[in-house]
């Protein structure tokens, strides 16, 4: 049933011109389109001229759609008051307001939002002011695609963390949010501007969402939405923030014209994130983080089969297929490899950085295709075009875009070896039939950074199930890991617990799934439980029936599909 009901449409007289202020009522009809939306047809009195400005008024009511999430008090961190947020990407904002819901169309917007006493509204807008009667007025002065319009209403407060940044959160989280991000945002913005050109959005604020938010982050302009899992207490998960900041140039400023070329948003953003990370944290650490990304791509391709059609950079989304159902690691990590390959062809980092800046400047506020991107690349480097770099056998641009499978080129991550090798060696020691405790005790992991521990756990997971008793000893020896509060560590520890049937710690899996509802943490754990024993399947059913109400509806459907409970809608 439609989640957005249109009651009336009218053509308003031109601003300042003569005519009835109520406008001329127009015939409206809703026509079938796909399972995830219908087409709104409005008949104009006469065909408009090219370039003519029309003012349409549409009266509508919305609220039950998949793009609008209503949380009960128990789904929030504070557990006192309800909360609502919208999530537009990819095609959900059509359930929030009538729009051209495609990334190929960009527009400015303004909004007036009246909320009950005791609540605050925030939006992805360049300016907002609070007026009387708990009314908030927002304006976005730069053109953006529909999926980047976002609204939150809740019991939220803010704290400054930089000259153009503040954090927003429920009152019970605001201290932790301020502590985690005070002073760090500006450093990332400054490096981003140095690399990619001016930051055009004015403010960069961060909103910490309730635990049920299904994503790590959503790059809504001026106001990134992030999971509260980022409040790790040790600043170890800021790479997610660097990723969302990078979208300020790649995705929000230069946008994929279709969801089939999502890599133009995400591949470039992964590359930009790792450029900023290299400047701030150095190459070894960034290579280590990129190696964990490559491991995710490997896991994804092993699960789907390399030649699965989703493992192409240019995905053919058939009419009627919901773009959200094509979401996977490929546009991120294979896209990153392709952008790295372009940099490799150039062979000089500062020249490639200059190209990225020119690319952003050329296509800012536009929506483009891969042909635009690659055409501009060859135009910018005529000597490469001359050499025919777009058709080097095995590395043809066409093959990158249209052939599924593992990336033809992988950037060199060997600078990360100094951090990776100790983790690989330690994982080897733990996988042995008889444990060499002397060698194990000689390795001090207390000084390791989070991603080094993540990499170690990925290695242990690959070698699992370990010989009988080893995981139990590992758990006891490293409380830093087995009792971690950091979500990236908890995810991997839970995967290890399940793969090794460590029943004594099944409760940790349950606790983690109760504590948050992020899709990238939730689905792998349900897949692992479902692929395991009777006991883990029972754990999956029990956990899901307890936590389903606090999950985002999309995530609920994906879990149901894994557990064979219902056809995913």
**The 3-state secondary structure of 76-130, one letter per residue:** CCCCCCCEEEECCCCCCHHHCCCCCCCCCCEEEEEEEEECCCCCEEEECCCEEEE
Question: For the chain, how many residues are written?
Answer: 569
- 87 annotated to a ligand binding site: yes
- 383 annotated to a ligand binding site: no
Work out the mean pLDDT of the chain and round it to a whole number.
96
In 3D, which of 111, 14, 10, 108 has the Cα closest to residue 59?
Answer: 10
Distance between CA atoms of residues 253 and 261, nearest Å: 16
224 in Cβ contact with 205 (< 8 Å): yes
- 266 annotated to a ligand binding site: yes
Note the pLDDT of residue 284.
97
CATH 3.30.450.20 matches 69-248? no
461 in Cβ contact with 492 (< 8 Å): yes
Mean pLDDT of the 55-61 span: 96
In 3D, which of 307, 305, 301 has the Cα closest to residue 328?
Answer: 301
Note the pLDDT of residue 249.
98
Q: Is the pLDDT of residue 416 over 70?
A: yes
In 3D, which of 259, 317, 271, 295 has the Cα closest to residue 103?
Answer: 259
> Among 60-64, 157-161, 371-375, which is the least confidently predicted range?
60-64
- 333 annotated to a ligand binding site: no
Mean pLDDT of the 168-195 span: 97
Residue scoring higher pLDDT (379 or 233): 379
Q: How sure is the predictor about 1, in pLDDT bands with cuts at 50, 70 and 90?
A: low
- 114 annotated to a ligand binding site: no
Q: Please state whether beta strands 37-42 and 28-34 pair in parallel, antiparallel, or not at all (unpaired).
A: antiparallel
pLDDT (tens digit, 9 = 90+) per residue, 263-296? 999 999 999 999 999 999 999 999 999 999 999 9
144 in Cβ contact with 125 (< 8 Å): no
Note the pLDDT of residue 417.
97
SS (H, E, C) 270-311: HHHHHHHHHHHHCHHHHHHHHHHHHHHHHHHHHHHCCCCHHH
Structure token digits, residue 287: 């290579």
In 3D, which of 410, 398, 412, 372 has the Cα closest to residue 312?
Answer: 398
Q: Is the pLDDT of residue 150 over 90?
A: yes
Note the pLDDT of residue 567.
57
pLDDT (tens digit, 9 = 90+) per residue, 380-400? 999 999 999 999 999 999 999
- 499 annotated to a ligand binding site: no
Residue scoring higher pLDDT (233 or 408): 408
Mean pLDDT of the 151-174 span: 98
Note the pLDDT of residue 234.
86
- 219 annotated to a ligand binding site: yes
486 in Cβ contact with 232 (< 8 Å): yes
In 3D, which of 210, 208, 197, 120 has the Cα closest to residue 156?
Answer: 120
Q: Is the pLDDT of residue 2 over 90?
A: no
Structure token digits, residue 116: 């009950």
Q: How sure is the predictor about 568, in pLDDT bands with cuts at 50, 70 and 90?
A: very low
> Exposure of 517 by Cβ count < 10 A (0-12 exposed, 13-18 middle, 19+ buried)?
buried
The secondary structure element, H or E, covering residue 26 is strand 24-26
Note the pLDDT of residue 523.
96
Q: Which fold has domain 256-412?
A: Neutral Protease; domain 2 (1.10.390)
Encode 273-282: b = buried (16+ Cβ within 10 Å), e = exposed: bbbbbbbbbe
The domain locations on the chain are 1-63, 69-248, 256-412, 415-563
Note the pLDDT of residue 166.
98
- 396 annotated to a ligand binding site: no
- 214 annotated to a ligand binding site: yes
| Enzyme catalytic residues | 244, 332
Assigned CATH class of 415-563: mainly alpha
**Do 256-412 and 415-563 come out as alike in CATH topology?**
no
In this prediction, what percent of the chain has a pLDDT beyond 90? 93
- 519 annotated to a ligand binding site: yes
Q: How sure is the predictor about 569, in pLDDT bands with cuts at 50, 70 and 90?
A: very low
SS (H, E, C) 332-399: HHHHHHHHHHHHHHHCCHHHHHHHHHHHHHHHCCEEECHHHHHHHHHHHCHHHHHHCHHHCCCCCHHH
Q: How sure is the predictor about 521, in pLDDT bands with cuts at 50, 70 and 90?
A: very high
Q: Is the pLDDT of residue 525 over 70?
A: yes
Note the pLDDT of residue 395.
98
Q: Is the pLDDT of residue 238 over 90?
A: no
pTM: 0.94
């Amino acid at each position: 049933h439609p989640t957005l009901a249109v009651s009336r449409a009218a053509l308003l007289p031109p601003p300042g011109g003569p005519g009835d202020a109520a406008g001329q009522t127009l015939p409206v009809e809703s026509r079938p389109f796909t399972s995830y939306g219908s087409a709104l047809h409005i008949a104009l009195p006469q065909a408009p001229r090219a370039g003519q400005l029309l003012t349409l008024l549409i009266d509508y009511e919305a609220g039950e759609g998949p793009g609008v999430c209503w949380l009960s008090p128990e789904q929030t961190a504070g557990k006192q008051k309800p909360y609502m947020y919208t999530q537009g990407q990819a095609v959900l904002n059509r359930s929030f307001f009538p729009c051209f819901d495609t990334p190929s169309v960009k527009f400015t917007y303004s909004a007036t939002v009246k909320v009950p006493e005791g609540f605050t509204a925030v939006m992805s807008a360049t300016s907002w002011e609070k007026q009387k009667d708990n009314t908030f007025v927002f304006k976005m002065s730069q053109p953006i695609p529909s999926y980047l319009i976002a609204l939150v209403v809740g019991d939220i407060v803010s704290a400054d963390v930089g000259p153009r940044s503040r954090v927003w959160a429920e009152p019970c989280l605001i201290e932790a949010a301020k502590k985690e991000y005070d002073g760090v945002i500006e450093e990332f913005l400054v490096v981003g501007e140095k690399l990619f050109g001016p930051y055009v959005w004015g403010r960069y604020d961060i909103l910490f969402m309730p635990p049920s938010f299904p994503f790590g982050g959503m790059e809504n302009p001026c106001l990134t939405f992030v999971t509260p899992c980022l409040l790790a207490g040790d600043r170890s998960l800021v790479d997610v923030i660097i990723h969302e900041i990078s979208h300020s140039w790649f995705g929000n400023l230069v946008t994929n014209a279709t969801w089939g070329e999502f890599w133009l948003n995400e591949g470039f953003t992964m590359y930009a994130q790792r450029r900023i990370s290299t400047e701030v944290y150095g190459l070894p650490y960034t290579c280590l983080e990129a190696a964990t990304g490559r491991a995710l791509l490997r896991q994804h391709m092993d699960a789907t089969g390399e030649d699965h059609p989703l493992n192409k950079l240019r995905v053919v989304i058939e009419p009627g297929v919901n773009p959200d159902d094509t979401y996977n690691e490929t546009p991120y990590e294979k896209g990153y490899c392709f952008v790295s390959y372009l940099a490799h062809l150039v062979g000089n980092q500062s020249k490639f950085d200059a190209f990225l800046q020119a690319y952003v400047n050329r296509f800012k506020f536009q929506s483009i295709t891969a042909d635009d991107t690659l055409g501009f690349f060859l135009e910018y480097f005529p000597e490469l075009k001359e050499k025919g770099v777009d058709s080097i056998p095995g590395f043809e641009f066409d093959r990158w875009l249209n052939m599924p499978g593992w990336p033809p080129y992988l950037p060199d991550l060997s600078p990360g070896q100094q951090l990776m090798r100790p983790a690989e060696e330690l994982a080897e020691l733990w996988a042995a039939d008889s444990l060499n405790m002397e060698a194990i005790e000689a390795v001090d992991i207390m000084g390791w950074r989070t991603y080094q521990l993540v990499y170690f756990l990925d290695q242990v997971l690959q070698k699992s199930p370990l010989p009988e008793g080893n995981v139990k000893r590992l758990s006891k020896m490293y409380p830093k890991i087995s009792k971690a509060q950091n979500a990236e560590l908890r995810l991997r520890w839970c995967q290890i617990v399940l793969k090794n049937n460590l029943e004594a710690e099944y409760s940790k899996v349950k606790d983690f799934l109760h504590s948050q509802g992020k899709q990238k943490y939730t689905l792998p754990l349900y897949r692992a439980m479902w692929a395991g024993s009777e006991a883990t399947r029972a754990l999956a059913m029990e956990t899901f029936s307890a936590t389903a109400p606090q999950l985002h509806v999309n995530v609920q459907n994906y879990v149901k599909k894994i557990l064979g409970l219902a056809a995913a809608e």
